[in-house]
Structure 1
Amino acid sequence: MRTTHAIPVDPTNADALRAWDGSDGDFWAEEEYVFDHSLHHYRQAFLDAADVQPGDRVLDIGCGNGQTTRDAAALAPRGRVLGVDLSTRMLDRARRRAAEAGLSNVDLLQADAQIHPFTPAGFDLAVSRTGTMFFGDAVAAFTNIGRALRPGGRLVVLVWQGVERNEWFRELVGALAAGRDLPTPPPDAPGPFSYADPARSHAVLPAAGFEDVALEGVEAPMWFGPSVEAAFRFLSTMGFSRFLLKDLDEDARHRALADLRTSVDAHLADEGVVYPSAVWLVTARRPTG
């Protein structure tokens, strides 16, 4: 097992560090194109909500391979963008892509945004594309992020709506559960659907010192590959999929994968394999007083 880099993390995020600076981060670095393209239909809506200005100082939380960091840097040529993530491999990929794009106003840092000592009031805008849903202590994390924003500074995050609105997840779990009744995590537990209920954003962000909290629902197709074979390979080898498959015997595993392939085949469209999905664009602001 690879040893993760020894960076300070809150104890509640220790498991996240092991995952993202381990096999999960390695997977998403290798699958950079699929990950970024899967969310392509949300890209413009996210950038419109962020409304990055030419001189903005931007903090990108959970920047991953750096697409949102690069997007923000291109829109803020007189500003600067700091991308933070737990994954060494994804940050390496982000640095390479920023250099290839000729962006000199990008900094990238391995850090736990829940506790990292950001420069107080050092940013005009904090953004995150599916990167804020895994904090062990959400109020502490957003409080720390808020301290990094100037008075009146804005927060824009993209999070998933509920499982009932995200067919890609329902179909994946339905196939790989192989008839098992899987436990449902508490709605506020760290995970992809921890902000599915708008009430959570309306509770956590004011508790962290934000105001003017608003949510906009956006629906778009989620793309998983240009062909059935490519999408099936991606979906069946994700860390979550490997977790669901690991305790199945050979016959159950075979049936589960066959069911997943049937689902993938049923979602083949002209642009590739696409599933319905839905997100919340959450916006908030630091008080000016």
Structure 2
Amino acid sequence: MKTPEDIIREQQQAIWNQFAPGWKKWDDFTMQFLQPMGTAIISSLEVQDTDSVLDAATGTGEPGLTIASMVTKGSVIGTDLSERMLEIAQEKANHLGISNYQTKIADVSHLPFTDASFEAVSCRMGFMFFPNMAQAANELARVLKPGGRLATSVWAGPESNPWISVLMGIINRTLKLSPPPPDAPGMFRCAKSGLIAGFLKEAGLVDVKETVLSGQITYENTEQYWHNMTDVAAPVVNALRQTDEATIAQIKDELAARLLDQYGTGRLILPFSTLIVQGRK
């Protein structure tokens, strides 16, 4: 019999496989958006050129590919549940001529690696989707060598991320959608300060530290924003599938008016905020 975690795992795999084409289409844009979080993770890891590194929930390959370019005498393994996202990551590695990066389909709660396999572990925007975050933290700590470092990033709260929360607020109000259970996988599941830090401490890591990293994402206009969100944002796409074209047009018009009112005309510059959490074994 499948457990609730098995069901979540299968749902996550299906979602990310479904949205892989959209992520490939917008990969340059999305990787630029997420680069500050990757840079902060890499800085926290203090990697050496001989290190073996695990990039969990690697998606389309970052920050694992950047780390692989730094550990020239070492290697990086990028794991993910989605084989289609991993195909994109491997294509990027091949295109860039990065030969010390490889991908592996793996469940973060049951990693196929022996104890103490890696000098460093990175995980950018993955924890909020893991079925069992405590078990994931334990597994990531298990495969980390003594003295090795782990760093991860998660989204701060919706009030600090209007780049997505404004749109979802309009959708939820218009469609009268019920909020998901607070512990259901989703973008803001890990927004509570100290939550991920607590999991890392319970997993045996020390020198655990949480910092806030904020910035801005820039769109050419509201039209580009809409096309991006409806290609890559699973909660947006899945919600809009529940309604008709007229209602979607209404939501789009209200969104454009709201964004222009709050953030002005011309290029659309929206704030974001994340938490960077790091620790040492």
Query: Please, what TM-score do these two structures have when normalized by structure 2?
Result: 0.88
Cα distance change of structure 1 residues 67 and 204 upon mapping to structure 2, 3 Å threshold: closer
1:40 CA displacement: 3.3
Counting only pairs closer than 5 Å after superposition, residues 230-245 of structure 1 correspond to structure 2 as: 230-237=224-231, 238-245=233-240
- Per-residue CA shift, 1:38-75, capped at 9, x if unaligned? 22344433332232221111100111111311110111
| Aligned match of 1:158 | 153
Cα distance change of structure 1 residues 188 and 213 upon mapping to structure 2, 3 Å threshold: farther
How far apart are the structure 2 equivalents of 1:102 and 1:269?
41
How far apart are the structure 2 equivalents of 1:120 and 1:232?
45
Q: Which stretch shows the higher mean deviation, 68-77 or 245-254?
A: 245-254
Q: Say whether 1:144 aligns with 2:139.
A: yes
| Aligned match of 1:16 | 12
SS of equivalent residue, structure 1 residue 216: strand
How far apart are the structure 1 equivalents of 2:215 and 2:265?
14
1:157 CA displacement: 0.2
Query: Please, what TM-score do these two structures have when normalized by structure 1?
Result: 0.86
Taking only aligned residues, the RMSD between alpha carbons, in angstroms, comes to: 2.2
Cα distance change of structure 1 residues 171 and 12 upon mapping to structure 2, 3 Å threshold: closer
| Aligned match of 1:3 | none
| Overall identity of the aligned pairs, in % | 29
Q: Which stretch shows the higher mean deviation, 184-193 or 113-122?
A: 184-193
| Aligned match of 2:120 | 125
Q: Say whether 1:195 aligns with 2:190.
A: yes
How far apart are the structure 2 equivalents of 1:27 and 1:211?
38
Q: Say whether 1:77 aligns with 2:77.
A: no
| Aligned match of 2:39 | 44
Instruction: Provide runs of 4+ in structure 1 moved above 6 Å.
Output: none
User: Is the 8 Å Cα contact of residues 171 and 239 (structure 2) preserved in structure 1?
Assistant: yes
Which letter does structure 1 place at the counterpart of 2:224?
A: A
Which letter does structure 1 place at the counterpart of 2:24?
A: A
How far apart are the structure 2 equivalents of 1:153 and 1:95?
26
Counting only pairs closer than 5 Å after superposition, residues 244-255 of structure 1 correspond to structure 2 as: 244-255=239-250
1:169 CA displacement: 2.0
Aligned residues: 275
Cα distance change of structure 1 residues 178 and 187 upon mapping to structure 2, 3 Å threshold: closer
Unaligned runs of 5+ in 2: none
1:30 CA displacement: 2.8
Q: Which stretch shows the higher mean deviation, 245-254 or 178-187?
A: 178-187
How far apart are the structure 2 equivalents of 1:250 and 1:136?
34
From the two aligned structures, give the one with the greater helix fraction.
2
Counting only pairs closer than 5 Å after superposition, residues 1-289 of structure 1 correspond to structure 2 as: 10-21=6-17, 23-223=18-218, 225-237=219-231, 238-265=233-260, 267=263, 272-286=267-281
Q: Which stretch shows the higher mean deviation, 168-177 or 145-154?
A: 168-177
Cα distance change of structure 1 residues 200 and 41 upon mapping to structure 2, 3 Å threshold: closer
How far apart are the structure 2 equivalents of 1:93 and 1:214?
32
- Per-residue CA shift, 1:185-224, capped at 9, x if unaligned? 344332211210123123322232323221000110023x
User: Is the 8 Å Cα contact of residues 82 and 107 (structure 1) preserved in structure 2?
Assistant: yes
How far apart are the structure 2 equivalents of 1:277 and 1:31?
18
